[in-house]
Structure 1
């Protein structure tokens, strides 16, 4: 059986090297690329097409959500494990919305880290599995809010959305605030990531 090929994304070199050492010493796992920021991760993911992306969320030039959304849309066969130094509902919701498969804290031991990578590669659920059903994420949204989510995902500004829907720009801002609250997100970029993931799922059906 071929080794599980992993891309490790973390901006802290000491942490990243420690993770890579753990993975490289394990039987059946090979670190094929490392990245310290969003730009590197996107470029290297496209080059190596890893079986598993092990991604931090906080990065100097963006967030891991940007990378997750890109990988999920461009390389749907890659499994994604979110590695983070904090464990809260907002982080899980954001990663879930972007399309991650599992969530593991940096405080986890090496055995749990290896299990998370292997489980992700084999498609098994691991620990705090966070895949979300699309219907669960949008069930609470009104028809107008769903249109706004779609428009935000297309990169449209509040002014452009307001013009297309025939409503005031302030009304759009209020809707975006409501959307973030209902979806358990904090930033507009997370809505973009969620919308990107939803389109990718639609294309694969």
Structure 2
């Protein structure tokens, strides 16, 4: 209850302070990247309940001759890269927190297609609301391997506390100011998760 109360108070305060920034960013996205302004994608939340996560778009919708989207590195413009480095693309996620889909702090919500690929230990990350930021984000973010990222997520779930959430929020502010760990080495986005060793030693993959 205290965590949810903290979410609501901080998000309401952030929206009051940042709405001009959000409005200005939305106008720039519409002008420089076109419509729609928002990127919406189904993501699994607590207890695997699927919701639509919302962010500002950071890529164009350019396609090839067959109508297939071009690679991420082609569609990511310098403006889109700025949105990611500054974390401005994450601001609409405050609405997900206000609705109760997400929390300010928790494991980042990943793709729905990853759900059957988790091993028994990794599934623990869905015992709590996903977060805009989390323990993995302040300890390497996209420069972590999937195994390390999931290990940090599970550690958070097992050790979460009010004090830890406050620490993560402060560390997140520092990371945003430093613009650290935004991109995985050699990639503009995180490489896809294709499976992990299960508790029984078997490999889950697509």
Superposition TM-score tier, normalisation by shorter sequence = under 0.3
TM, length-normalised to structure 2: 0.27
Which structure dedicates a bigger proportion of its chain to helix? 1
Q: Which has the higher contact order (CA 8 A, sep 6+)?
A: 2
TM, length-normalised to structure 1: 0.27
